[in-house]
Amino acid sequence: MSWIELIGLLITALIVPYVVQLIKTEAITGNKARWIAVGISIAAGVVVAFIGGIPDTPTAWITCILAAIGAVQMAYAAFKAVGITNKWLEALGAINYKAEGNE
């Protein structure tokens, strides 16, 4: 396991659930909770995007970008379940919804 895979695993398996629980129990509230959720969601996206290494072809860049979007959506869905929302991440989440032909 490479170091980036380890970081990805820690974010998705430990950090996201831990912070979701902190928000759920109201240990973190308001704007602080919102910005922590946004930061962790973006970190998950960046880490997952580069697990395969730095892209060197246009196809690899597309895969990297889609992996980042998927990881951000996954992490943010966990935060949204406990009431944390953000306009920018909601718009990013709508990308998949519109791509499936929904309006």
Q: What is the pLDDT along the chain (103 residues), one digit of tens a residue?
A: 788 888 888 888 888 889 888 888 889 888 888 888 888 888 988 998 888 888 999 999 998 888 888 888 888 888 888 887 777 667 766 665 555 555 5
What is the Cα–Cα distance from 100 to 103, expressed in whole angstroms? 9
Asked if residue 33 lies in contact with residue 23, where contact means CB atoms within 8 angstroms, the answer is yes
Query: What length is written for the chain?
Result: 103
58-82 pLDDT per residue, tens? 999 998 888 888 888 888 888 888 8
Question: pTM surpassing 0.85?
Answer: no
Give the DSSP H or E segment for 98.
Answer: helix 87-99
